[in-house]
Amino acid sequence: MTTTIPLFPGEATLPANPSDEGPARAVLPKASARVLMPNRNQLELRASDLESLVPPGHRARIVWGYVERQDLSGLYAGIKAVEGGVGRAAIAPEILFALWLYATVEGVGSARTITRLTQAHDAYRWICGGVQVNYHTVADFRSHHGDALDELLTDNVASLMAAGVVKFKTAAQDGMRVRASAGAASFRREERLKACLEAARDQVATLKAQQADDPAGESARKQAAQLRAVSEREARIEAALARQPELAAIKKKQGKKPEEARSSTTDADATIMKMGDGGFRPAYNLQFATDAESQGVFGVEVVTAGTDQGQLSPMVEQVSERCGQTPENWLVDGGYPGHGQIDAVAKSTTVYAPVPKAKDPKTDVHQPKAKDSPAVAQWRERMKSDEAKALYKERAATAECVNALARNRGLNRLLVRGLKRVKGVALLFALAHNLMRAATLAPELVGLGTGTSAVPQMAG
């Protein structure tokens, strides 16, 4: 066997012929693989404009296209900063309104989450357009502009009617119970509430005395925060006590002891309701009235009662006032049709609702009874016909669909407290729902194909 002479000292001697076999054959060490590993600590500078970050037809563009076509004078009314005056310029209501609409469509209901997303998510950054927003400003917009949101819903429905989307032939109403931002342990009876109120008042007096006697003992900011927290608790307990007579009357009507009535020290307007899973939890009852053909929402109400009884007439009245007319047919489930409610709306619309079953299976519930009013008697006879049964099937496909979409967009648990703020949440969901329906049925209302909803123009 021949060998090669090494060129350098210490180099391994290799056989001239690799096929030669020998006991002293040397093997070269295997070289390590050379790869590129990520280096996430390096800094990168990328030149791009916000306009190029959001693709054409994106939901953020649809939302902005809708917002820039709305009359927001109600939102501008509270802005004190004016041209030529002093003070810092306010954030444009268009930005805050668009942020909440887009967040609602995407299933985000927290003001803090929205604020974080304006720093990290391209769509939210595009809506802001370089304007910095903070949590308090975002949260206060939803809490303080309930009346303006209600007016915007009226304008929204009017535009849908003008476009021929909402025909107002058949409406469907349904309620959905949404978990309140209050724990079950926060509910107390009147006796316990009075004791809590007395303790809270004593604590307020003690903190005020400490603040007056030793103002330099702790920071003024900390003292003010403690006093504010205790004062807010005092106000919540007073609100809970003020609601006790209402709850006691409900207990008495149910045949229970009035003294068993309990209200929450966290959210006095929250009520223990039976939920869809059979359990009982603090909740609000959100009522929506929807056009059966377009599935556009034109009626919104929030009530503290756990039943739908008595909610038919107020909703019909609201829709009539908001829209200037009432749908020909009104579809509701079996929880609505009290005889007094049917009589109240008989001149405005025709009610389609299932007739309750009788205790005696042989009794024909569709036969008018001696004590029935003409409206109730007509309702019984009407629901016997095949036409009425076929029309009533549209209720589930309309009202239940709207409720399901609201659930999918995060309306499962409320993050705000108080009837007024919850109404603002419900109005935002209605506006967001109608916005997406308009994008499908009347794209001209959201400016699809024009302006900021169109294909972005690339810089350069």
Q: Which long-range contacts (CB under 8 A, 24 or more apart) does 298-301 make?
A: 298/153, 298/157, 298/160, 298/166, 298/171, 298/322, 298/323, 299/171, 299/173, 300/150, 300/153, 300/423, 300/426, 300/427, 300/430, 301/423, 301/426
The pLDDT tens digits of the residues spanning 20-76 come to: 555 566 677 777 888 888 888 888 787 788 888 899 889 999 999 999 999 999 999
What confidence category does residue 433 fall into, taking pLDDT thresholds of 50, 70 and 90? Answer: very high
**The dihedral sign for the CA sequence 303, 306, 310, 312:** positive
Confidence of residue 12 (pLDDT cuts 50, 70, 90): low
Give the largest Cα separation in the chain, rounded.
124
CA distance 244 to 262: 7
Share of the chain above pLDDT 90, in %: 63
Query: What would the mean pLDDT of 317-323 be, rounded to a whole number?
Result: 94
Residue 181 per-residue DSSP state: S
Q: Kindly indicate the confidence band of residue 460, based on its pLDDT and cuts at 50, 70 and 90.
A: very low
Distance between CA atoms of residues 330 and 349, nearest Å: 6
The sign one gets for the Cα dihedral 160, 162, 167, 171 is positive
Q: What is the pLDDT of residue 457?
A: 44
Name residue 133's amino acid: V
Which residues lie below 8 Å from residue 314, measured CB to CB, with a gap of 6+?
301
Span 213-262, pLDDT tens digits: 766 656 777 888 888 999 999 999 999 999 999 999 988 888 889 889 99
Q: What pLDDT, on a 0 to 100 scale, did the predictor assign at position 221? A: 77
Mean of the pLDDT values across residues 325-340?
A: 92
Residue 290: pLDDT over 90: yes
pLDDT 10s digits, 130-181: 999 999 999 999 999 999 999 999 999 999 999 988 888 999 999 999 999 9
For the chain, what percent of residues have pLDDT higher than 70? 90
> What is the per-residue pLDDT for 459?
40
Is residue 364 scored above 80 in pLDDT? Answer: yes
Q: Are 284 and 270 in contact (CB under 8 A)?
A: yes
Burial of 372 (0-12, 13-18, 19+ CB in 10 A): middle
Closest CA to 168 of 349, 25, 305: 349
- Cβ atoms of 182 and 304 within 8 Å: the answer is no
Q: Is the pLDDT confidence value at 98 over 60?
A: yes
List the end-to-end C-alpha distance of the chain, in Å, as a whole number: 73
Which residues, listed in sequence order, are joined to residue 283 by a DSSP beta bridge? 179, 271
pLDDT digits (tens, 9 = 90+) for 99-140: 999 999 999 999 999 999 999 999 999 999 999 999 999 999
User: Which pairs count as long-range contacts for 339-344, CB under 8 Å and 24+ apart, including other chains?
Assistant: 339/372, 339/373, 339/376, 341/309, 341/310, 341/312, 341/313, 342/312, 342/373, 342/375, 342/376, 342/379, 343/373, 343/375, 343/376, 344/312, 344/313, 344/316
pLDDT tens for 343-356 read 999 999 999 999 98
Mean of per-residue pLDDT scores for the chain: 88
Higher pLDDT: 48 or 16? It is 48
| Token representation of residue 431 | 């506006």
d(CA 244, CA 189) in angstroms, rounded, equals: 8
Q: What is the pLDDT of residues 80-96, one digit of tens each?
A: 888 888 888 899 999 99
Instruction: Collect all residues with Cβ–Cβ distance below 8 Å to 227 and sequence separation of at least 6.
Output: 204, 207, 208, 211
Residues pairing with 152 in the sheet: none
